[in-house]
Every structure is written in structure tokens, then in C-alpha cells.
Structure 1
Amino acid sequence: MVEHKLKIKSEHYINVINGTKTAEIRYNDRNYQVDDILVLNEIDSLGNFTGNKCSVIVTHVLDDNQYLQTGYVMLSFRMFYSGDLNKDINEIKAQGIEEAVINQVLQHRLMTEREFTWQSYRDEILSYADRLKND
């Protein structure tokens, strides 16, 4: 397992955090492997670090020149938690829900222009929890 520190634009970072983005196409200059950890550091539209970051674990590496440009791979991933190696799947899912709650509050406050409502917040968290149950 190798840790890779990478940059990711804000519009993509948000989708990783909320669970809708679970893959990334990258130039394979680092020999990415299953179980590698990607530390995704958010950058703004000017390329400046925002200070936000998250970690994901690579679950699959697609390296196929029929579907991707030569030298590129598609990395499938899921959120990584430092205690993942010592937890069963239900504990990991519970931690994911807790982290989703925190991230959704931040996302609503910082990244949207619409007014925060508890109903929309509740609906999004329940949707995220359902996705975790089905994984």
C-alpha cells in the first residue's frame, strides 16, 4: 500500500466527499495499485490549495488501452478511514454516515447559494445512508 498526494478541483472534490464520484482517470506516472491510498487535496479555480482534503482507497485499477489513452488508468475508489483495517463493514458504514453528516453541513454552508433547510439535509443523508446499505 502506497500513499499518493494528489490535487483535485473543488467541483470534483465535493462529489468525492458526497459519494457520487467513485472513480478518477489519472496518468499512471505513479504505478497505481489496488489498496493504494489517494490523499485528495482540494484546489480552487486558481489552483490554490483550500486546506480541505480527504483520503480514498483504490479498489480497482483499469489499465486498458482499448478504453483509455495510452499511459492513463481509471482508479475506482471508496472513502478510506484510518481505522478501516481494524473494523468490520458495519462499523465502516456507520463511520461513513457520520462523516457524510458533517460534510453535508459544510457543503450546504459553503458551496451552495440555496438556503439550507433541514428537510433537504435529511433527505440527502438518508439517500447517502441507503447507498451505503446497498454496497
Structure 2
Amino acid sequence: MKIKQVFFLAKLQGVKPFEIRKNDRDFQIGDMLVLHELDDYEKETGRTITQVINYVFEESEYLQKGYVIISGEMIGMQLSKD
């Protein structure tokens, strides 16, 4: 999944433990997310964060239809282009 640089950096700093996403992948607890950082020109930088989903919030009263809030535990990262 692609993630803007500003949000990628917030994840690295530990201040953004969640994602708000369209639930077009039927996210489930235990799923792995690989987040690919995008630069200001929408190109992948080569940096990634891998998370395992530990919570899926899909309460329709609070979210636009078809969207979820997912949180996860970071289990890996690639911070260089190698």
C-alpha cells in the first residue's frame, strides 16, 4: 500500500499508529501491511514499513461507507533503497 511521506515519517516516529483506508481489501486482524513511502512527486522512495493488523474499526456511524480505521504493530522496515 502506498503512503505519503508525511504520514510515513509520523509512523516512524510512533505518533501515527493507525491508517484510514478504503476497505477494498477486506482487512482482517492478522493481515500484513507493507506501506511504501511516496515522495512529493508520488514516486516510491524505496522505504517501507511492515505492520501486522491488530485492530479493524468499521463502525458505519463514524466512518464514510466502505472505509475502515486499521491499527497495527510495526514488525519491520526498510529504510534504504538497497
| TM-score (normalised: structure 2) | 0.89
> When the two structures are aligned, how many residues end up with a matched partner?
79
* Residue number among 61, 65, 68 corresponding to 1:66 in the alignment: 61
Is the 1:39–1:53 contact (alpha carbons within 8 Å) kept by the matching residues of 2? yes
Tell me, which stretches of 5 or more residues in structure 1 are unaligned? 1-5, 82-98, 104-135
Equivalent in the alignment of 1:55:
50
- In structure 2, how many angstroms separate the alpha carbons of the residues matched to 1:57 and 1:19? 15
- In structure 1, how many angstroms separate the alpha carbons of the residues matched to 2:12 and 2:72? 12
Post-superposition shift, 1:78? 1.6
Equivalent in the alignment of 1:15:
10
Is the 1:39–1:56 contact (alpha carbons within 8 Å) kept by the matching residues of 2? yes
Is the 1:8–1:40 contact (alpha carbons within 8 Å) kept by the matching residues of 2? yes
- In structure 2, how many angstroms separate the alpha carbons of the residues matched to 1:56 and 1:75? 10
Give the AA of the match of 2:38.
Answer: I
Post-superposition shift, 1:23? 0.4
Post-superposition shift, 1:77? 1.2
Tell me, which stretches of 5 or more residues in structure 2 are unaligned? none
Give the AA of the match of 2:66.
Answer: G
| TM-score (normalised: structure 1) | 0.55
* Residue number among 35, 51, 58 corresponding to 1:40 in the alignment: 35
Equivalent in the alignment of 1:75:
70
* Residue number among 9, 23, 28 corresponding to 1:28 in the alignment: 23
Is the 1:37–1:80 contact (alpha carbons within 8 Å) kept by the matching residues of 2? no
Which is helix-richer, 1 or 2?
A: 1
Larger Rg: 1
- List, as ranges, runs of 4+ consecutive aligned residues in structure 1 with deviation greater than 3 Å: none
Which is strand-richer, 1 or 2?
A: 2
Query: CA RMSD of the aligned region, Å?
Result: 1.7
Structure 2 counterpart SS, 1:80: strand
Answer 1 or 2: higher relative contact order, Cα 8 Å, separation at least 6: 2
